[in-house]
Structure 1
Amino acid sequence: MGKSRGGPRDTLARLFLDVTGELPDDASVLRMRRVSGALNLRDNDALWSVLVMLEYYGRLYEVMPERIRRAGAGSLDVVRTEARAATDVLMAQHRDALARCKATIELAERMTGEHEARYRAALAELDRQALSVLVERASGRLARMVGNRLVAVTAMAAREQRQRLDAAAASCERGVMRRVVRACYGLMVCALVVLLLAAGAGW
């Protein structure tokens, strides 16, 4: 490590480079020399390697917060980007689901309207058929009632006409008989007159 207690700077820097793969800065060299002076290290002391590693880790601890901050900022940006992308995907899926729901609702409304129209048409057809059946039944019943009334009226009229004819025939017979009786009476009177005249002439 050289003749000095802390070792020459180039030797210390070479050891630091060999152990850590990096060159030390002035602050690291000063800290290692201060520690080696406090520990009274010799040039060939094995603790130099330990001291170099401790300094290396000390430097890492110094720069680690900044690295963590940068990494955190980068991670936060990545998280924001991923969250934004995931949100966009979810919003697209949500819009697609809303569109499908709207299409489903429109289809259901259209099918409901078609079913309602067919139902109304079926009800109208049933009403028409029922009305036709009722009209036919009412017409048949009315025809039977009218026929029965006509038969009854015709029978009554025929009975009354027969009674009138019977009465007229009886009246006619009585008139004819009276005329026949009167004619007979007239003939008898004429015969008596003739007989009387004949008898008077004979006398």
Structure 2
Amino acid sequence: MTDATSSAWTRPGRPRRARRARPPDPLARLFLDVSGEIPDDASIARMRRVSAALNLHDNDALWSVLAVLEYYARLYEAMPDRIRKAGEGSLDTVRSEAREATDVLMTQHRDALARCKETIRLAEHMIREHEERHRAALAGLNEAALDALVERATNRIAHAAGNRLVGAFAIAAREQHARLDGAVAAFERATREAGRQAQVGAQTLERRYWRALGAVLALVLTVLLGGAAAIAVWLTVWRG
């Protein structure tokens, strides 16, 4: 890499840095122009190794990119040390803050534990009251259920007894109706028989009546004829 190439890569308009001793190596001068820091031997060797691998020429524009990448590589390498130093400085602060936060959390935990105990006590009291009300409600429900069961059983028994009584009454009524039908039929038969016998007796009496009437009429005629004959004889005798 030549000095002309290095001067060509210098950015115009960039604010001038404090004057430093410019290294004789063009690659080191390029890194100084890009990053403002003088590279060490490891950075120079790494950039040359990468340029050899990429087969870069002296006037290649990738030299500036390579210098920037090397700057960031050195920055990343130094970052863990900076982080460790910053962490060591703030470790005591973090410990004190953690202790204070722990104390606050323990205080809050104790307060929360006390509130939890009070809440548990109230919950136990409410549970006991709820159990007592539940037992009373169950007792009332059991009594009501028992009354309803007794009433239902009574209704069923009364219904069954009523059905049986109605059935017995129906059977007795049917039997009584059958008996009444039999008695009515027998009465009708007896009435018909009595009517027939009365009719026969009436006919017999009527024949006897006519016979007696005929006999009486015959007797009357006989008496009349005898009287007439006697009168005729008496008149004959009286005249004679």
Q: What interval of TM-score do these two structures reach, taking the shorter chain for normalisation? A: 0.3 to 0.5
Which structure is larger by alpha-carbon Rg, 1 or 2? 2
Q: What is the TM-score when the length of structure 1 is the normalising length? A: 0.43
Q: What is the TM-score when the length of structure 2 is the normalising length? A: 0.37
